[in-house]
Chains A and B, each alone.
Chain A
C-alpha cells in the first residue's frame, strides 16, 4: 500500500456525491488504510451513505471557545490529529467520521460553534504531519460554494460527479474552473447515472474531459437512498459499487 488518498467529492445537488464519497470511504478503509470521512454539508448526507444512520448532533462544539471578539476559535492544543482522535466517531470498516452540526428549525444559528470549529479543523488536518498516513475523503455541499471558500484544503484531487443533465454539467464546469484556481493536482470526472454510450459521450464532450470513472444508473442506489442506508451494505455486488471499487484502486497511482 502506497501513498495516501486525499480527495474532495463535489458536484451538483443530487448528482450522487454522498453515495460516491460514502462508498469510496468504506472501500479505501477495506484496503487497510486509515480513513477519515469528512462531511461539510449542513444538510444530511454522508453519515447515511457511510452506513452510520442519521447523525445530527454537532461535533467539535467542545473543541472551540469564543475569543475576545466573540468569534469561535479552536482551543489551544487542538491540532488535526487530536480533533480526529477526540471528536470523530467510528463507522463501519473502521472509517473515522467527522461532521459539523446539521441545520435545524433555528437554521444554522445554533451550529456556529460546530461549523466554525470544523472550518478551522480541516486546515489543521491538512497540515498535521501526524495524519500524513491517513487517507481523507471529503463530501462537500452542493454546488460551487465550498470549493470557492476552501473547505477542502486537504484535497489534492477533486472528484467532480456529473450526471447526464445540462445543469449537472454546468455545475461541473464551474467547479472545475474553481478547482483549477485552487491549484488542485488532479481533477477527475466521475460520470454517474449513465444509461447509454450516448449519455457518456454527451457528458465528456460538454465537460471537455474524459471520465475517470463511469457509474451506470443503478436501481440499487435508488433503493438504498429510499431506505437511508449505505449502498455498500445494501447491494455490495451492485455495478455502482464495482465502479467505485475500480476508482478506489486507481486513485493511489495519482
Chain B
C-alpha cells in the first residue's frame, strides 16, 4: 500500500508522515518512508536527528555521482541510499537540492518515478514537497491513498482545496483523506470541514509535538501516548493497512 502526504508547507506533513511510519513499523509492517521533498526533513520526524538527516544522500544525487552501478535497480537504490530508522522503518530520500542551478528536477531519478515503482511487500509512506508539484506530475496508480494535511488558516485550507481538487480530477482512484491538524476547537475543525466540504480526520494541537519539533525529535519518542500521536494511531486504523502485514 502506498500513502502520500501532501499540504501547505508547515502544515505538519512531515510530522504526521514520520509518526505514521513509526507506528506502522511497530505494528509489524515493512515500512519504507520516502522523502519526496527536495528540502528533505522526514528523518527528523522519524527520530534519526536533524544533523544526521542533513547528511543523508538522496537517490538522485547518488546515482548522478556514480555511487551505484550503471543501471541501478530499485532494490539496489533502497539498499545503497536507504537508512534504517527506529521501529524497522527504512528511509529513502528521493532528491535534495544542494547547490544552485541543480539541473532539471524531472530528469534522472524523480520522486514520481520512485513513487510509481516502489512497492513489493512494503507499506510506502511518501512525504511530498509543499504544494502540488509532485502530485501534478504523478503517474496513474502512483499511490493508493492521499493524506491532505491542513491547519485552520485560510492559506492552508486553500492549498488543501487545490490538492483535493487535483487529486479528484487526476487521480479519481486514490482515496483522499483530509487531516485537520493543530485543531484547538470545534470551530477550527468546522472551518476546515466547511471550507473543503469534506469529512475531516482531526489531529489535535499538542504541546508534546511542539516540543518534538523544537528539539528535532520524533513525536513518538517524546510521548507516544500524547493526544496527537494517539490521533495518528487512529488514522493508521482508519487507513486499514492491516491486510498488508508481511511479518
Contact = CB atoms under 8 A, between A and B. Distances in A.
Contacts of A45: 155
Nearest to A169: B50
Nearest to B157: A228
Given A44-B159, A108-B136, A145-B39, 8 more contacts: A43-B8, A103-B132, A104-B162, A107-B132, A107-B135, A144-B38, A144-B39, A226-B152
A227 B97 contact: no
A48 B155 CA distance: 8
B102 A103 contact: no
Contacts of B216: 165-167
B28 interface: no
A44 to B, nearest CB: 5
Nearest to A183: B100
A184 B131 CA distance: 27
Interface residues of B, number: 45
29 contacts: A44-B158, A103-B132, A103-B162, A103-B166, A104-B162, A104-B165, A107-B132, A108-B132, A142-B131, A143-B37, A143-B39, A143-B97, A144-B38, A144-B97, A145-B38, A145-B39, A145-B129, A148-B99, A165-B214, A166-B44, A167-B50, A167-B216, A170-B44, A170-B50, A178-B99, A226-B153, A228-B153, A228-B154, A228-B155
Contact of A225 (B11, B14, B133, B155): B155
Contacts of A227: 154
Contact of B162 (A54, A102, A171): A102
A23 interface: no
B44 A13 contact: no
Contacts of B99: 148, 178, 181
Interface of B: 8-11, 14, 37-39, 41, 44, 50, 53-54, 97-102, 105, 129-133, 135-137, 152-155, 158-159, 162, 165-166, 168-170, 191, 213-216
Nearest to B187: A226
A42 B132 contact: yes
Contacts of A41: 131
A205 interface: no
A228 B154 CA distance: 5
A129 interface: no
Contact of B170 (A107, A167, A169, A173): A107
A227 B166 CA distance: 25
Interface in A121-176: 141-145, 147-150, 164-167, 169-171, 173-174
A44 B154 CA distance: 9
Given A103-B132, A166-B215, A13 B10 contact: yes
Contact of A165 (B98, B100, B213): B213
Contacts of A108: 132-133, 136
